[in-house]
Structure 1
Amino acid sequence: MAMFVHLTPAVNAARIRRSGIRAVSHGRDVARSRGLYCFPVLPSYTLTHQWLRELARHGRPRGLVAVHIRLPDDEPVTVGRYYRDPATVTAAEAVRRVAAVTDPRGWEVFVPRTVTKREVHRIRAVSQVTGWRYLPDAHGRPPCTCFGCRVRGEYGSQRLRQRRPHPLDGPAPASSVLLRRIAAAGTPGDPARLTETLRLFGMRRRGPLDQLVHLADHPAPEVRAALVEAVFRWKAPGVGALLQRLSQDPDAKVREAVEWATPDPQP
């Protein structure tokens, strides 16, 4: 049996003891299968729990806990470094590959299914200051402050943006300005102008959803995908219904945008 560690918010511990770990995360394979991420148990405590500080950056409530799971040696999983094409191997082979790497930081294993409660070996507390942030070897590098990299509400983020403003980002224009740009794009509207305007809408914490929802019927799929990326963070009535509608879009890129935008409570 191969042993892995899955890091999850402490609030999930009781539910995991009752019913196991749900398959809510999206894999990096072509099929975007659902499952959960984990890492082999190595002799090094720091390497085994290396992902903790990076996961904690994204507002995990009340800290993280380590869930040890046992999987059959022949269990099919994927293994590889993050944001690279993973290889499909058995669980035993995944452990062997990670252990053989000179520097396994940034590696991850994905189990494309639910883990049952019988496969949960134990749940224990873990040091909350273990691991790297942003990316391995990030210490000493100037952090990126672009909209895609920064985490809203992160400690010290406002001072960091003021000290190192990003040339491509900045305060988004007012909603009224952006709405005038959408109107000026015409009917149905130039896709390039609309996607750029929607990108700026996505930098705002909220916006006039009722005046943007018509773009869900735009003939260009890149506009519909940009609409998803612009509004999915907004805490506004109707966002959930819009995402549900676009999750059934005939274009695969739009459906993938909705899947990407759907938050994964257990990375």
Structure 2
Amino acid sequence: MAMFVHLTSAANAPRIRRSGIRAASYGQGGARGVYCFPVLPSYTLTHQWLRELARFGSRGGLVAVHVRLDDAQHVLVGRYTDRARDAQATVPAAEAVRRIVAVDDPRGWEVFVPRAIRPREVHRIRTAPQVVGWRYVPDAHGVPPCTCFGCRVRGGYGARRLRERLPHPLDGPPPPVRVLLARVAAAGAPGDPAALREALHWFGMRRRGPLAQLTRLAAHPDPGVREDLVWAVARWSTPGVAELLDGLADDPDSDVRDAVEAVRASG
């Protein structure tokens, strides 16, 4: 029997004792199941995912659930980066342990059980120290964190200060409104399309904005500017956005009309 550890919120412990671990995670190819990792001689490697999982919050901290699986149970094994490429291998549980033990650096490796874990397969549940493992990616310590839209965690501890200290060239934080309006004014009339589209890119990251000063761009001769205007104001709560989109819904350019339709469909 192969032994694995599954890390989860302490609040889930009573339910796991009663009915096992639900197949609530999604793995390679959209399969549902449970992520875990073999119990290795190294305590640090066994619990390497703890700090990364703790970044996304947990009630009462994380606990380690030890699970015994039949050696012949088929699982997926590979690095987390292999998951996106559907490159994780389907092997028996015993083979998954052998492969992970054999690699020089098993950090970032994972095992995915494509089903729920039954109560009788739960060996024990114990507390785990909350300071073990890597965060973001293995070897991330000492490397400046990425603040792009895909990497940053909204609402995370120190997230706003981090974005202000290490602004991303495309994903902000955006310049102040007065600075953006000055760029729009400096672009002239009707305005340089490249300068206006860059300003609209930053306006699109805001929740509200100076709609009255941007409404004139709905008549800009460049359809790219009009389309970017749609995306910029789409999520604003500023009064008048709906009326502006109503006018752009009849735009002569199909890309602008499609943008309005997409915005309304997602809202």
- Whether TM exceeds 0.5 here: the answer is yes
Aligned position for 1:59: 57
Aligned position for 1:89: 91
Equivalent residue for 1:42, pick from 27, 40, 43: 40
Where 2:81 maps in the other structure, the secondary structure is coil
Partners of 2:23 and 2:88 lie apart in 1 by 18
Partners of 1:117 and 1:124 lie apart in 2 by 15
Partners of 1:5 and 1:207 lie apart in 2 by 49
Percent identity, please: 62
Q: 1:200 to 1:161 in 2, by over 3 A?
A: farther
- 1:199–1:226: 8 Å Cα contact kept in structure 2? no
Q: CA deviation at 1:43?
A: 0.3
Partners of 2:208 and 2:155 lie apart in 1 by 22
Equivalent residue for 1:116, pick from 90, 115, 118: 118
Aligned position for 2:152: 150
Aligned position for 1:173: 206
Where 1:160 maps in the other structure, the secondary structure is helix
AA aligned opposite 1:3:
M
Unaligned runs of 5+ in 1: 229-241, 243-267
Task: Provide the alpha-carbon RMSD of the alignment.
Answer: 3.7
- 1:34–1:112: 8 Å Cα contact kept in structure 2? yes
Partners of 1:130 and 1:63 lie apart in 2 by 13
Q: 1:46 to 1:227 in 2, by over 3 A?
A: farther
From the two aligned structures, give the one with the greater helix fraction.
2
What is the TM-score normalised by the length of structure 1? 0.68
- 2:50–2:133: 8 Å Cα contact kept in structure 1? yes
AA aligned opposite 2:71:
D
Q: 1:43 to 1:225 in 2, by over 3 A?
A: farther
AA aligned opposite 1:35:
G
Matched, 1:197 2:197: no
Equivalent residue for 2:134, pick from 126, 132, 138: 132
What is the TM-score normalised by the length of structure 2? 0.68
Partners of 1:54 and 1:115 lie apart in 2 by 22
Unaligned runs of 5+ in 2: 175-204, 243-248, 250-256
Partners of 1:88 and 1:144 lie apart in 2 by 32
Tell me how many residue pairs correspond in the alignment. 213
Aligned position for 2:72: 74
Higher RCO (CA 8 Å, separation ≥ 6 residues) = 1
Q: CA deviation at 1:15?
A: 0.4
Per-residue CA distance 1:56-91 (angstroms, 9 max, x = gap): 011222210000001111101000000212111110
Q: Which has more radius of gyration?
A: 2
Where 1:83 maps in the other structure, the secondary structure is helix
Partners of 1:27 and 1:227 lie apart in 2 by 28
Q: 1:113 to 1:199 in 2, by over 3 A?
A: farther
AA aligned opposite 2:2:
A
Aligned position for 1:162: 164
Q: 1:207 to 1:114 in 2, by over 3 A?
A: farther
